[in-house]
Amino acid sequence: MDDANSMGGVINEDHEIPPAKYEYLDHTADVQLHAWGDTLEEAFEQCAMAMFGYMTDLERVEITQVHHIEAEGDDMESLLFHFLDELLFMFSAEPYIVAKKVEITEFNREEFKIKATAYGEEFVIGKHTQGAEVKAITYSAMQINVQPQVEKPEIFVIVDI
């Protein structure tokens, strides 16, 4: 992969979008994202999609660009925090990229590192709806449930809006 693509390039391939496996739960001052998946990786990806879906209607987002992000933490909760924070930064800094799909390409559970690819396009007012602005990810009431008694991994994250 050349440097232009690793920094974010244009793509023309069709990407199959997985079905949504997340929901929004009311919370007093913020919004709680609840995401799940068949694997912990999918639950992380779905949590990222829940965040983007809260900011805009993902049905209007096309896949014209690809961006790569990396995150690391000291434990699983801080890894989730930094993963979402990197994606939020991608949306908050020019050229304001909104992802229609996020795919984790490397998930190191021992060293708490993630590499992921975000597929989407530049956010354009008029083309994309303006949902609530996510200002920050929080650790408040964060839960990552992957115990054997849990049928599928699930995540709860509160975001500051």
- The candidate with the shortest Cα–Cα distance to 78, out of 6, 157, 12, 133, is 157
CA–CA separation, 137 and 14 (whole Å): 30
pLDDT value at 65 more than 60: yes
Q: pTM score, two decimals? A: 0.82
Q: Which pair of tokens denotes residue 63?
A: 């896949």
- pLDDT tens-digit map of 10-58: 676 778 899 999 988 775 668 899 999 999 999 999 999 999 999 999 9
43 with 37: CB under 8 angstroms? yes
Q: Which domains does the chain have, with CATH numbers?
A: 22-160 (3.55.10.10)
Per-residue pLDDT tens digits for 82-120: 999 999 999 999 889 999 999 999 999 999 999 999 999
Of 90, 94, 72, 103, give the one whose Cα is nearest residue 134.
90
